[in-house]
Amino acid sequence: MDFKDETTLSRRTFVKGSLAGLALAGAAGSAALYGCTPAEEKEQSGEGAPAEEADQIVWSQCVVNCGGACALRWHTKDGKLLYAETDNTGDAEKLQVRACLRGRSLRRWVNSPDRLMHPMKRSGKRGEGMFEQISWDEALDEIASKLTETIEKYGNEAVYINYGSGVGSVTSRVFPRLMNLMGGYLKYYYDYSTNMMQAGMPYTFGEDWTDGGSKFSSSMSEAKNSDLIVLFGNSPAETRMGGANIVYDYTQVRESGPRIISVDYRLNESSSGQVDEWVPIRPGTDAALVNAIAHEFIVNDQVDKEFLDTYCIGYDEDTMPESAKGQNKSYKDYIMGTGYDMTEKTPEWAAPITQIPADRIRSLASDIANAKAPFIAQGWGPQRHSNGENTSRAICMIPMLIGQIGLPGTNTGSREANPDGIVGGMPKGDNPVKTSINCYQWLNAVDHGEKMTAAKDGVRGTDKLKTGIKFIWNYAGNTITNQHGDINKVHEILQDETKCEFIVVIDTVLTDSARYADILLPDAMRAEQPHMAGNGYAEYYDGVILGAQAQEAPGEAMREYDIVSNLAEKLGKKDEFTEGKTQEEWIEELYKKAADADGNMPSWEEMQEQGIFKRELNPVIGLKDFRDDPESNPLETPSGKLEIYSESLAEAAMQMELEEDEIVTPIPVFDPGFQGYGSVTDEYPLYCSSFHFKGRTHSSYGGVDELKQVCRQQMWINPADAESRNIENGDMCAVTSPAGTIRIEARVTPRIIPGTVGIPQGAWHDADMTGDRIDNGGCINTLTTYRPSPLAKGNGVHSIIVQVAKA
Amino acid sequence: MQYGFFFDNARCTGCKTCELACKDYKGLDASRTYRRVIDYEGGTWETSPDGSVTQNCFVYHISLACNHCSDPACTRVCPTGAMHKDDLGLVWPDATKCIGCGYCTMACPYHAPVIDQVSKKSSKCDGCRERIATGSKPICVEACPLRALDFAETSELLSTHPECASSILPLAEPEYTHPNLFINVSDAAAYASEHGKGHIANYDEID
C-alpha cells in the first residue's frame, strides 16, 4: 500500500496549510544568501559536515541548579571538545538522563571567547566593569589580608557568602568550609527559589517541611493513579526539562489518561498540544481562587469534616486551639464571611480579582470535589509574590478540605516529591557564628546592618546584627544584581565603599554581578576538571555521575578547590582545609562513603568505568504515613496535625514589627500584597510577572548566542493590551516600573492573560549605570522593587506594576 | 529503502533540544540551522463586565528538519544533480557537484537546505547518515528529553505509528513532495485544523 495514501486519507483535514509564513525566510534568504559579514564568516568556519571522530568520550554533567543534573558525554579530540552526546545508556524509553537544549549548548559556554582568563582587580567604579590583570599571588594575597583585616576590625559576622547556584558538585561551593576554619561568617536562610514557601509551609505542615521533600509531597509518577491533575503555576516543561526530570514523568502521566488543568497566567509549554486545560488567572491571586473553591466545597457539602476534625486544626470552631476559640477566627468563618474580614468568598467575589468567571470557578470546584483522586500541585511561581507565604499555604487547602491527602493518586498541594540524594559533598564544618539573615536581606545588611533586628527584619540567632556586611564572597552566582531585586538600588548602595568594603567574585564569565567585584577570579568549568554529583533534586530517581576532565581550562582559570586551597595556605589553614587530599581524592572518598551507606551502588572501580549510575524509584504518596496512622506519625507542628490555623504563627506575628500595609495571618488568607492586585495606577496600569525560560537556567547560559537566537528575550503581551498601545509583534518596547526601565521586544500573543505582561527571567542586565540606566538586556530585576516580604523577609518580587510603551 | 522521521506533536513542548543538539553536533552557529521548531498558536479573548475573561487559546510545536521526501523539490530544481537521494532515501548535497546556486533553498517547502556561507554550497540535514551507518539514531532523536522524535525505515515507523499524518498546519500539503514525516497529531493541531485562525508565532526564531 502506498503510505502516502494511508496517511493523508484519514487526516485530510490536516493538510490544508502551507509554510507560506516560513516562505518569508526563504524570500529573504535569496537576497541574503551570501550576505554575511566577514566576522560571521570566520565564525562559521565551514562546519556543518559530519563531526570529526572523537579520540575520547568523557562523562560530565550540566549542574546549574535547574532542578536537574543531566548527563553529558563529551566527544573530544586532542583534548578539545568536539560536541556532546547525552546519556544514551539503557532503554531509551525509560530512565535516560537526557540533557535539554541548554546542556546541549554547554560547549558554547565552555569555549566562549568571553571566558575569564586571569585574576583581575577592579580599576574603575563598582559596576563599570573596568579591571586590570594581576597575578594569582597578588589576588590571593590581597584577599587574605582584606579578610583578616575585616574579621579583626568588625568580627566574623561582617563576612557574608552570597547565595549562588551556578555550579553544583561534591567538591564545589567550599567557601563555607574555609570560612568556618576562619571563625565563621554571617549565614543566610531560605533561598531565592522558594523563599516565601519555606517561611509559610512549616506552619501548616511542620518544622521539617522542606521545599517538597518526599514526606510531604507525592511524586509526579504517583499521578498515574489520579483522574484529575490541577497545577498552580507549575510548568515542568519549562522548569523541569531534562529527560529524567519531571517533564518526562508528566508526559507519561498525561498519556495514562487523567484530565489536567493548568492554573497559570500564561498558556505555558506544559499545555502544548492540548486544548481546554488552561485556566488563566491574574498572577498573585491564587489564594482568592482557592477561597472561592473552598466556598463551593462548603456550600455544596463537599467538605470532608471527619478528615478535618481528625487530621487538621482550625477548619472550624470544633478544632480551634483554646487561645483562639469563640472569636470567629477559623478558616470556615473567614470563607463564609463571619470571620477575619467579614466578606463571603463567593465565586462572584473572586471573579474580578482572579479574572476567572464565577461559573468556571464553580465547575472547577465541582470537578475537584468529584474527582476520585485529585492531584493538586503548585510550582514556585505563585509563592514568588509579595503575598507568597499565604498563597503557598492556601493552595494546600484544596486537598485538605476534601480529605484528599495521603491517598493513592493524590498530592498535598506542594510541589512534587524530591528524592533524598545518594551522594554528599565535602563537609563544611561548623559555623561558630549563629546569626543569620534571609538570603534576600544581604543588601539591607550592607546598607544598614547595624539597624537590623529580629522583630523587624527577621534576623535570627540574635536580637540585632552587630555590624553590617563588609566582605562578600560571591562564587558562581549572579544574585548581587541580575538575580536579586531592584538592580538600580543595588548599584547605588554598592557605590559607597565604606559600607561593603570588599567583594570577591569567582566566575567563568563577566556576569553583571562580577562587574561589582573588587577582585575577580577566573573559575574552571566542570568540563575542565574531575567532577561528581548526584541527580538533580527535582529528578525522581537515584543517580550519580562521575565526570572527568575533557579539556584544559583556558588561560589561568583555576579549579575552585585549588583556588580555595591556595587561599587557605595564605591564611595558614591549608592542612585543615584539604585534610591532605586532592580534589580527585575527595571525590573518591565521597563516592566510597556513599556506596558504603547505600549498599547497592557500583564499586569505585566499576563507577570509573561506567561514569553513570542510575536507579529508578517507586512512586511515593505524600503524607501517607500520617494519613494511615496520625497517632503514631504525628507531624512536627505543635499539635502534630495539619494546622490550617497556626497558633504559633499568630504568636510569632505578635512579635513582628510590620509595615502598615503588611499582614501575617494564622490562616492562609488572600491578601493582595505589595504591588499586588488592586495596586495598578494610571502611571503603571499593567501587572507584570516573570517566568523561567527555556533558553536559560536563571542567568546561566544567558550569554550563549545560539540559545539567544532561538529563545528570544521577549515580553509576552496580550493582543488587547498591545493594540491599545499601538504595539505590534516584534516591536521594541520600553517597560517601566517604579524601580526602573527595560527595553524589550514584544511578543504579542493570546497565550497571556489580558492586563498582565510576562517577562522571562534571567536575561543579562545591560545598562549604562553611569548614564540613563535603561536596561537593554531586558532583565526582570531592573523592574522588581527591593521590598522583603512580610513573613519570610524574602524575594516576593514577581508582584510588579508597569507601563509599557512602544520604544 | 526509505528512512523517515516520526514526530510526536502531542508530546512536543517546543523545548528545542533537538535543534541545539544538531547545532552542537554539526557545528552550526546562531545564523544557520538544519532543524527548527515552529511555535503555532491561536485563540481569542472575551472580557465580561465583571472583568473576568474567557478564551479558546491553543499552542503546539512542530520540530522540523529535512523530511527526506520521496519526491523532493530540492532535487528537482538542482541544476547539477548535487542534491540527490542516496541508498537509504536520505537527501543531501554532494559538495563536489554543488555550485551554491541556492535553488534548493527556495524550492523546499520545509526550508531544509541552507547555504553554508563559508563554502558557498548547500548544506542540510542528512539524517546523520554517518550515525545511521553505525547503528545510532540521528543526534536530534537521541537528544529529545521527551522521546518525541524517532528515525527509522518508513515501513517500521508506519507499523509502530499507524495513525500518523504527514502534515499539520502550517506545513505544506504532502502531495507536493511526499515527505517521509510521520506526525502523531495533537488535540491542539486537530483543533487548529478544524477552526483555523492559528499562526506561526516565532518567525524570528526560525529564519
Cα nearest neighbour of B190 on chain A: A14
Nearest-CA neighbor of B65 among B4, B122, B120? Answer: B4
pLDDT digits (tens, 9 = 90+) for A728-771: 999 999 999 999 999 999 999 999 999 999 999 999 999 999 99
| DSSP secondary structure letters along A257-298 | --EEEEEESB--GGGTT-SS-EEE--TT-HHHHHHHHHHHHH
- Please, what CATH class does the domain formed by B3-206 belong to? alpha beta
Residues of chain B with pLDDT below 70 are: none
Q: Are the beta carbons of B30 and A28 separated by less than 8 Å? A: no
Domain A686-806's class? mainly beta
CA-based nearest distance B152→chain A, Å: 15
pTM of the model: 0.95
Q: What helix, strand, coil percent values describe chain A, rounded to 5?
A: 35, 20, 50
Q: Which three cell numbers stand for residue A644?
A: 490550617
Q: Which of A2, A3, A85 to mutate to test the interface with B (most CBs of B within 10 A)?
A: A3
Q: Which pLDDT does position A214 carry in this prediction?
A: 77
pLDDT for B207 equals 81
- A552: closest CA among A524, A531, A583, A582? A524
- Fold classification of A197-419+622-655 is Dimethylsulfoxide Reductase; domain 2 (3.40.228)
**Mutating which of B46, B58, B94 best tests the A interface, going by the most A Cβ atoms within 10 A?**
B58
Confidence (pLDDT) at A211: 55
Give the closest residue to A238 by CA, choosing from A585, A591, A695: A695
Q: Are A41 and B118 inside 8 Å of each other by CB?
A: yes
Interchain CB distance below 8 Å, A22 and B27: no
DSSP A697-729: BTTBTTT-HHHHHHS--EEEE-HHHHHTTT--T
Residues of A in contact with B173 (CB under 8 A): 15-18
Q: Pull the grid cell for residue B182.
A: 510521520
8 Å CB contact of A22 and B52: no
Task: Choose the mutation target among A22, A353, A721 for the interface with B, i.e. most B CBs under 10 Å.
Answer: A22
Q: What are the structural domain ranges in chain A? A: 120-164+177-182+428-534+541-616, 197-419+622-655, 686-806
Q: What is the pLDDT of residue A52?
A: 77
Strand arrangement, sheet containing B181-184: B149-153, B3-8, B181-184
| A94 → chain B, closest CA residue | B147
Q: Given CB atoms, is B63 within the 8 Å cutoff of chain A?
A: no
**Backbone CA torsion sign across A184, A188, A189, A193:** negative
**Count of beta carbons in the 10 Å neighbourhood of residue B176:** 18
Residue ranges covered by each domain of chain B: 3-206
Extract the residue ranges of chain A whose pLDDT is less than 70.
Answer: 1-51, 211-213
Smallest Cβ–Cβ distance between B16 and the set A10, A275, A711 belongs to A711
Taking the CB of residue A631, how many other CB atoms lie within 10 A of it?
Answer: 7
Strand partners, A280: A264
User: Are the Cβ atoms of B170 and A36 closer than 8 angstroms?
Assistant: no
φ, ψ at A86 (rounded to 5°): -115, -165
Neighbour count for residue A153 (Cβ, 10 Å):
11
Residue that is written with C-alpha cell 476534625 in the block: A309
Do residues A544 and A515 lie in contact, with contact meaning Cβ atoms separated by under 8 Å? no
Class of domain A120-164+177-182+428-534+541-616: alpha beta
Examine residue B170 and say whether the peptide bond preceding it is cis (omega within 30 degrees of 0).
Answer: yes
Closest C-alpha to A457, from A471, A442, A469, A467: A442
Query: What per-residue confidence (pLDDT) applies to A53?
Result: 87
Separation in Å, CA of B55 to nearest CA in chain A: 9
CB distance from A692 to chain B under 8 Å? no
Q: What is the pLDDT of residue B196?
A: 86
With contacts defined as CB-CB under 8 Å, which chain A residues touch B45?
Answer: 718-720, 750, 754
What's the pLDDT at B193? Answer: 96
Secondary structure element (H or E) that encloses residue A534, with its range: strand A531-534
State the best of B1, B5, B8, B16 to mutate against chain A, taking most chain A CBs within 10 Å. B16
Give A690's strand partners: A759
Q: Do A800 and A785 meet the contact criterion of CB atoms below 8 Å apart? A: yes
Contact assignment for A352 to B190 by CB distance below 8 Å:
no
Digit-coded pLDDT (tens) for A532-577: 999 999 999 999 999 999 999 999 999 999 999 999 999 999 999 9
**In this predicted structure, what is the pLDDT of residue A212?**
54
Longest dimension (CA), chain B: 68
Which ranges constitute the DSSP H helices of A32-135? 38-44, 106-110
Q: Quick check: A8 and B174 CB within 8 A?
A: yes
